[in-house]
Amino acid sequence: MKHFLRVVTQFFVFLYCKCLWRGLKFVVRKFTGRCELQRICYNNKHGARRTLKIESSMRYSKNELLQSALSVHPDKVEKTIDDIMALKKINPDTNPQLGISLQASLLQIVGYRSLVSEVEKLRREPYDCDNTEHEEMLMKLWKELRPDTPLTGRISKQWCEIGFQGSDPKTDFRGMGLLGLHNLLYFAEHDKATALQMLHDSLQPKHNEVNKPEWEQKNMDKAIGYSFAIVGINITDLAYSLLVSGALKTHLYNVAPEMPSLLHFQQTFCYLMQEFHRFWIEEDPSDIMEFNRVRSKFHRRILRQLKNPDMALCPHFSASDLHLVNL
């Protein structure tokens, strides 16, 4: 009985709030002479604060045009904005900035949806050792991370030197598909110095009592903490989960002036790799068995940061010259 009364009470509270909110919107529009979209654009700076509110307003609108605007093709964004302006009876000549602001935000919204689809497609594509392009990418990753060490064969224990688990990296890409390889290669190419330093650090003994000659004779899985490539695939999974959950909208809406792209996602991956490396050292885990605990804690930390609508995950690596941060 108590549960039933609680459900009924919640229903009436929801109904009351919903009706009250619509009533307040009507009163505010009559009082200010501006619709909700106008008030959002005029009262919020460009970025996540504005775009998230516009996205929410359109999603919960009773108007079909506003709801469908969230999934239009990027080529139809401009016409959609014209239709919205006409629907709201807003004169574009007297409100020129409004159209520009709405268009920029809508491009961010539809761009994010497109990015999710593109990333998902890469994640679902398995690594194929018979695909020449896949093999070339993998060989290029080795050359970037081990430029002075020739690979003795496609199937080789040498792959463990850059953090794969066995003699054939193909098996390690199962979870994230080609997305993991794309991200690792991007990191190795665009921030080579940092990638090489992280790889070097990951292969060092955790304690100083082991000298280097002795260390080189020991198994690499007892290194300072992690296998570079495997961690890269795990951080790819973390970045992917942030993207599909919508948590990454805060960051991408703040750094991409219009449509977020795969480039923004890969740059974010580079940032997360470097930050995780720092976080791992700060946590000082006893061994690799603590990886899941540290990863979960790091994930929660990033989620807390992204709750701030002004947050932009600011990279501290050479890829920053690609203008990840929207100054």
What's the pLDDT tens digit per position in 71-122?
999 999 999 999 999 998 888 888 888 889 999 999 999 999 999 999 999 9
pLDDT reported for residue 49: 95
The DSSP letter of residue 168 is -
Burial of 192 (0-12, 13-18, 19+ CB in 10 A): middle
Binned at pLDDT 50, 70 and 90, residue 32 comes out as very low
Burial of 186 (0-12, 13-18, 19+ CB in 10 A): buried
- Is residue 9 pLDDT above 90, yes or no? no
Of 31-35, 145-149, 214-218, minimum mean pLDDT range: 214-218
| Measured CA distances, 281 to 125, 215, 275, 300 (Å) | 33, 20, 10, 17
What would the pLDDT profile of 302-327 be if each residue is shown by its tens digit? 999 999 999 998 644 434 344 444 33
Tokens of 159: 């792959």
For 28, list phi and psi in degrees, rounded to 5: -65, -40
pLDDT reported for residue 302: 97
Q: For 113, how many CA atoms within 13 A lie in the half-sphere containing its CB? A: 12
Q: What percent of the chain has pLDDT over 70?
A: 79
Of 205-209, 260-264, 275-279, minimum mean pLDDT range: 205-209
Amino acid at position 214, single letter = E
Q: In angstroms, rounded to a whole number, what is the distance separating the alpha carbons of residues 163 and 101?
A: 46
Tokens of 266: 């890969």
pLDDT reported for residue 134: 97
Q: In angstroms, rounded to a whole number, what is the distance separating the alpha carbons of residues 280 and 294?
A: 7
Q: For 156, how many CA atoms within 13 A lie in the half-sphere containing its CB? A: 12
For 187, list phi and psi in degrees, rounded to 5: -60, -45
- Is residue 33 pLDDT above 80, yes or no? no
pLDDT reported for residue 178: 97
Q: Which pTM value belongs to this model? A: 0.82
What would the pLDDT profile of 125-144 be if each residue is shown by its tens digit? 999 999 999 999 999 999 99
Q: In angstroms, rounded to a whole number, what is the distance separating the alpha carbons of residues 151 and 40?
A: 57
pLDDT reported for residue 147: 94
For 130, list phi and psi in degrees, rounded to 5: -90, -5
Of 30-39, 223-232, 269-278, minimum mean pLDDT range: 30-39
Q: What percent of the chain has pLDDT over 90?
A: 64
Mean pLDDT on 292-303: 96
What's the mean per-residue pLDDT of the chain? 84
pLDDT reported for residue 235: 97
3-state secondary structure of 270: helix
Binned at pLDDT 50, 70 and 90, residue 8 comes out as low
pLDDT reported for residue 224: 58
| Measured CA distances, 228 to 40, 60, 220, 223 (Å) | 44, 44, 11, 11
